[in-house]
Amino acid sequence: MPYLFLSAAIVSEVIATTALKASAEFTKPVPSVIVVVGYAVSFYLLTLVLRSLPVGITYAIWAGMGIFLIATIGALYYKEIPDLPAIIGMVLIIAGVVILQGFSKTTAA
């Protein structure tokens, strides 16, 4: 169950961050509300995850997947194409998450 909450927290954070750009510095009400609600939901879900998983592991997965997904959305929707070093960095982030999930006994829930 903690991984379901963690996945939902990641999705919520990605929606909030995507809306952050659309909020135009909080001058547009609907995207601004999505930002606040999205981050609130994400942080609440993280508190549920922390019942079962260590904070460092939880944050590493949440932040790492958020970075990758936001960069992907930025490339697809905002035409913010990452350069080669950025792509390599994101691949390393994903590799780190895979290693945490696949090999670390710390993540066992």
Render pLDDT for 41-92 as a digit per residue (tens, 0 to 9). 999 999 999 999 889 889 888 998 999 999 999 999 999 999 999 999 989 9
| pLDDT at 106 (0 to 100) | 72
Give the SS3 label for residue 27.
Answer: coil
| pLDDT at 11 (0 to 100) | 97
Per the structure, the count of domains in the chain is 1
Q: CA torsion, points 78, 76, 96, 101, in degrees to nearest 10?
A: 120
Structural domain harbouring 101: 2-107
**Does the model's pTM come out above 0.75?**
yes
Q: What percentage of the chain exceeds 70 in pLDDT?
A: 97
Residues 6+ apart with CB under 8 A from 61: 6, 10, 97, 100, 101
Q: Cβ distance 14 to 69 under 8 Å?
A: yes
